Structures are given as structure tokens and as C-alpha cells.
Structure 1
Amino acid sequence: MMTSDRERDVIAAFVSLANTMVDGFDVIEVLSSLTTDCARLLDVASAGLLLADGSRVLHVVAASSEATRNLELFQLQREQGPCLDCYRLGSPVSAPDLADRREVWPQFVDGALGAGFVSVHAVPMRMHDTVLGTLGLFGTDVGSLAAEDLSLAQGLADVASIAIVAGQVAPDSGSISAGLQQTLANRVLLEQAKGVLAARGDIELDQAFELLRRYARDNRIALADVARSLITRTLSARTVIDHIRTSGTTT
């Protein structure tokens, strides 16, 4: 049974997702928060999220760490792994001990173990009959997730899926695809901005992302808009880097 502290955290996570169902909300921020919440609330070390484009090609859209993002990319490049199977099947896939699945996903298993992950659980992101992508949960300990944790992960993924297509009265495959394409385009901008900020500030990509998120939140600007401003140099990298110090907050 969940503790009262965890209950509060779970409620806060769902409230945060629900609050995004308003005009102008930032999808990338929503999905990034989803992976962070999963890593914090569930018995996993990190989480990553894949979304499909109009051609049903999966892309990494959010991850709670750069190591997880790299592993998700590796999974896509090798075209094998639990998250891909979850997307293809449209149902959860669990690998409590990756060493036992080497025959199924040989390259992915080696890559995951090399990154320190020994278990993976994936749940689909869906909207009606359309599978939008998958939410991958990566563990550093062998073992199955509790049924309530899997249910919570699926619930968070379902609400996030609704957020992606929020504002559409009767979303069809075409309108869903258009929304996903914009999300993927914004993610490309964000990756470019992370690289700019990391290079200018001589910092890690994880830290660069957190600086971008904090600047966007504090200034009530969409992450994609901050990223675009950095890339076009209408916003200086130094301004974002110095923001934490001048605002008196920490990452």
C-alpha cells in the first residue's frame, strides 16, 4: 500500500499533467516532467519516452537522464529492444532480468548492461486505437515492478497521451500525426540548444537541459521558444547560464 508521502507525490504528478490541458502548454516540458516523475515515483532508476512520427518511425522525445536518452537512441539504431516491441504490440513488455533476454535483443542487452541497466519495463502511449509511442522504465536492479507501479506508469502515460493531442474535439490519425510532428520538431530544437549551452558553458548535457528548463519556467516561456532563441542567438547562452545565480535558485 502506498505511503502518505508517495500518495501526495502521485497526486502532484497527475495534477501537474492535468494542469497542462490549457492553451499554450509546453508538450516537451510535459513529457520531460513525465520521465522525471516516473524515475522518482516508481522503483526504477530512470525513464525514457519514444514517440512515432507520421511514418511510424520512433524518436526519443524525453528522458530523465542523458544516459537513458543515449540507450533509447541505441535501441532505435539497432532496431531491437523492449520499447520497440511494446510499440509494435501496443501492450506492456517487461524484462525483469535483461541477461535472460540476450537471445531476443542481443545488441540492446549488451548496450543496456554496459550502461548499468539490468531490467527494463515498457508501457505504450495510446490515444484511442492509435499507439503514439512508449514509456520505458530502466532499472539498475534485477526484478519485476509491482503491479501498482506498472498501473501507475500506464496511468501517467495515458494522461500524457491525452495532453499531446489536447484541444482536439475528435482527434483522428491525421491530426494526431500533425501534433506529434510538431513535438518532434521542437525536440530537435531542444537538442541543438542543449549542445550550444553545453559547449558555451563547458557543462554536461544533463545540466544544460536543467538550465534550459529552469530558465523557461522562471520566465514563463515555452522550452521550444527558449531553444529557438538560443539557436538564432536572440538569447545568449551566458544569459541562461547566469540566470541561476542571479535568480538565487539552484538546479
Structure 2
Amino acid sequence: MMKTGTRESRLNTAFVKLADTLVAEFDVIDLMHWLVEQCIEILDTQAGGLMIVNSAGDLQLVASTSEDATMVEVFQLAAGDGPCMECFRTGNAVTVASIEENLDRWPRFGPEALKLGFRSVHATPLRLRGQVIGTMNLFSYHVGALVSEDVAIAQALADVATIGILQERSIRSAELVAEQLQRALDSRVLIEQAKGVLAATLGTTMDNAFSIMRTYARDRNLVLRQVAEDITARRLQLGKVGKK
């Protein structure tokens, strides 16, 4: 369990970083990954994923903290079944204290989540003025629901991040909102391709490949999407990734 002081410090830092996205340029994909990573640490969960809606109105996975999180999220999308899908459809947070005790509720999602070791989940909507653009989903390896304070924290972080993602002050039409979200989804595809190239070339895991790629981008103040494009197009020497 995280010490209170550390938790409060992380929470303050998270809100400051999210507030910065409202007044400065930022990498949308990196922000989404950072958000779920911070939430699993602040809220004492073990994995997370973030989905947003595409121009066709369908959810797609944009960020995850591990391959297991990716697998369970992708399964939900393919099955059209699960707490994260319900959260998106209703626009309300969905808390599942015990996945095993809710197998009848989600007969396709439940068994797959349990196979991956997840025992509970909390899904938070990404919403702005009644419009739901996605969900942030936090998974735990133990049984138990988030306490009400943590539910409120998850929603608050998701709300501020949503404003940042949409750059609400400058976006006024539904068409521009869809364009912004679609670009983020397209970036996810490029990043996944680059992860695969790095993992195969360096003989490492997909999770570690992403960490190497993101560190490379941050150290050089580069946009993650551009680094991914350079890797897949072979403009970036794979043997030099991760080195300054």
C-alpha cells in the first residue's frame, strides 16, 4: 500500500501535469499512457487501459500498462461485452469488486479476465458535457472495489484528461473532435507496429520495447508518433534506440 504522503504527492503532480496540457502543446498518446500508469499507482491497482471512440463510433484501445491489460481490453472490444463496454454505453462508472461473482453478468469477459489473473475492475468514463469519448479501466489482481474517494479521484483525473485530449478551448465542432480522436487512434497503430519491430530486433518484450521507445522520445523532446514512424520506416537505426 502506498504511503499517504507519497500518494498525495503523486496526486498533486498528476493534476498539475494534466492542467499543463490545457495551456501547452503535448503528446496525446503519451498523455494517455501516463494517465493510466499514474492511476494504477495512485489508486493501488495493477494494470490499466484506456479506450477512445473512433470516427465510426466504435471504441478502440489507445493505451495500456501491460500486455495482459492489452489482451483483456482487446477481448472486451471483440466480444462487445464487459464492464468497460458497459461504462461507455451508459456513461457511468462501473465497479466490479469480484469478477468471479459476476460471471453471469459478463459470461464472455469474466473467464478471460480471470485467466489473466484479474479479480476486480473499475471502469471510468471519459466524458465532456455529456459526450462520452472513451473509458479508463483499472484492473486488480485482488478482490475488492475501489473506495468512494478513489472512485472520485479516478473520475476527476479522467475528466481533466478528457479536456486536455480534446483541447476543449480550441475545438468547437463534432467534426474536429472526431478528427482529433482519429489521429490518436492512428498513432496507436503506428506505435504498436514500432513496438513489434523493436521487440523482434532487440529480442525483448513488447512492454520493454515501448518503454525504450518512449524514453528515446522523451530524452530528445520528440513526439512519440514521429519516433514510431521513423522506426517502422527504418529511418531510425534500431541498434541505437535507447542510447543518447
* Structure 2 counterparts to residues 46-85 of structure 1, below 5 A: 46-85=47-86
Q: What amino acid sits opposite 1:47 in the alignment?
A: G
* Whole-angstrom distance in 1 between the partners of 2:155 and 2:140: 17
List aligned pairs for 1:167-246, cutoff 5 A. 168-241=169-242, 243=243
In the superposition, relative to structure 1, how do residues 37 and 21 fare at CA in structure 2: closer, same or farther (>3 Å)?
Answer: same
Structure 1: how far apart are the matches of 2:202 and 2:30?
A: 22
**Local SS of the residue matching 2:88:** helix
- Per-residue CA distance 1:73-97 (angstroms, 9 max, x = gap): 0111111000000000001111100
* Greater mean alpha carbon deviation, residues 28-37 or residues 232-241: 232-241
What are the superposed Cα offsets for residues 33-79 of structure 1, whole Å, 9 maximum, x if unpaired? 00100111102111110101121111100011111011100111111
CA contact (8 A) 2:171 2:177 kept: no
Q: What TM-score comes out, normalization by structure 1 length?
A: 0.93
Structure 1 residue 157, shift from structure 2 partner: 0.7
Q: Secondary structure, in 3 states, of the residue corresponding to 1:116?
A: coil
1:172 Cα deviation after fit? 3.0
After superposing on structure 2, the runs of 4+ consecutive aligned residues of structure 1 that deviate more than 6 Å are none
Moved more, 94-103 or 83-92: 94-103
Q: Which runs of 5+ in 1 are unaligned?
A: none
Q: Name the stretch that deviates more: 207-216 or 164-173.
A: 164-173
- Contact 1:130 1:173 survives alignment (8 Å): no
- Closer, same or farther in 2 for the Cα pair 1:145/1:167, shift >3 Å? closer
Counterpart Cα distance in 2 of 1:26 and 1:172? 21
1:21 to partner: Cα distance:
2.8
Q: CA deviation at 1:9?
A: 0.8
TM (normalized to structure 2)? 0.95
1:128-143 map, 5 Å:
128-143=129-144
- Code of the residue aligned with 2:79 in structure 1: it is R
**Is 1:30 paired with 2:54?**
no
Cα deviation 1:186-232 (Å, max 9, x = unaligned): 11100000000000001000000000110000000000000001111
Q: Are the aligned partners of 2:121 and 2:137 in contact in 1 as well (CA < 8 Å)?
A: yes
Residues 1:77 and 1:170: Cα distance change in structure 2 (over 3 Å)? closer
Aligned equivalents of 2:48, 2:186: Cα separation in 1: 21
Distance in 1 (CA, whole Å) between partners of 2:196 and 2:167 is 30
| TM-superposed deviation, 1:166 | 1.2
**Secondary structure, counterpart of 2:241 in structure 1:** helix
SS class of match (1:221):
coil
- Report how many aligned residue pairs link the two structures: 242
Instruction: Give 1:12's aligned residue.
Output: 13
CA separation in 2, counterparts of 1:167 and 1:121? 26
Answer whether contact 1:50 1:58 (CA < 8 A) is retained: yes
Query: Comparing 10-19 with 67-76, which one deviates more in the overlay?
Result: 10-19
